[in-house]
Homo-oligomer: A and B are copies of this chain.
Amino acid sequence: MQRARVKSPRQNLADRLYQQIKELIFNFQLLPGEYFSEAEIAQRFQASRTPVREALYRLQQEQYVEVHFRSGWQVKPFDFKVFEELYDLRILLECSAIERLCSLPSLPDSLQALTQIWCLSQDERRADLSLCEEDREFHHQLLAAAGNGEMTRIHTEISERIHIIRRLDFTQPERIQATYDEHAAILSAIQQADSEQAKFLLQTHIRQSRDEVRKITLHRLQEAQRQQASSMSI
C-alpha cells in the first residue's frame, strides 16, 4: 500500500527558470520572433541545459515559444488574430460565469470582497500599474466564484497570454478610470442578478480593452523594442 507523498515542497530550478524566461519574454528582453538557444539561457541563468529545456518545453506548450529541430528556439511572433481569438474566448468564459453567478441564490463572499476594491469614489481610486494585476484578479474571481475549476484554469492560462499586450494598455489614466467604472457596474448588475445586463457590460468592457490594445500595440511594441535595443547597446 502506498503512503501519501509530498507534492513538490519547494520550487524547482526548472520552475524558477520557467518564470524567469517568461519574464524575459514579457519584458521584451526576448523579442517576438527572436531566435535563441538553450545554451544562451543556461549561461545567462548559470544553470545546465536540463532544467532550461524543461522550462522551455513548458513554455512551448503554453504557446510562448517554439522549438525548431536542431536549429534553436524562437519566441512566437505576435499574431493579432490569436489575441482576438483569446479575447473572444475570455468573453465566452466570463459570460458563462456571470450567468452561473446570477442564478445563485446569494453571492459568494469572494465577490462581495471585490466591491470594496472597485466600487470607490474618484479620490479613493489608485492609478498605478499594480491595478493591472487587480484587474486580472477581478476577472479571475468571476470565474473562480462560478465554481468550474477547469474553466477557471483555462481562463487563467489565456489571461496570462493576453497579459503581455494588455499591460501596455494599462498606463493610460482614462482607461484606468473606465476600468473602475465598468467593474463597478458589472458587479452591481451581478448583485441584482441581472444576467443580461451584466453580460452586456462585460462584453463591452472586454471588447473595449481589446480594441484599445489593438490600436496602441504596434506603437508600444516598437517602443519596447527600441528600449530593448538601446539598453543592449550600452
Contacts and interface: CB of A to CB of B under 8 A. Distances in A.
Contacts of A86: 150
Contacts of A93: 92
A72 B5 contact: yes
B7 A148 contact: no
A69 B53 CA distance: 19
B151 A82 contact: no
* Main DSSP-derived SS at the A contact region: helix
B69 A6 contact: yes
B92 A150 contact: no
Interface string A1-13: 0100111111000
B89 A148 contact: yes
A130 to B, nearest CB: 28
A82 B6 contact: no
Interface residues of A, number: 35
A26 interface: no
A22 to B, nearest CB: 14
A6 B88 contact: no
Contacts of A54: 53-54, 57
Interface of A: 2, 5-10, 35, 53-54, 57-58, 61, 66-69, 71-72, 74, 81-82, 85-86, 88-89, 92-93, 96, 148-151, 154, 158
27 contacts: A5-B35, A5-B68, A5-B71, A5-B72, A5-B74, A6-B69, A6-B71, A8-B67, A8-B69, A9-B69, A10-B69, A54-B54, A54-B57, A57-B57, A57-B58, A58-B61, A81-B149, A82-B150, A85-B150, A86-B150, A88-B148, A89-B148, A89-B151, A92-B92, A92-B93, A92-B151, A150-B158
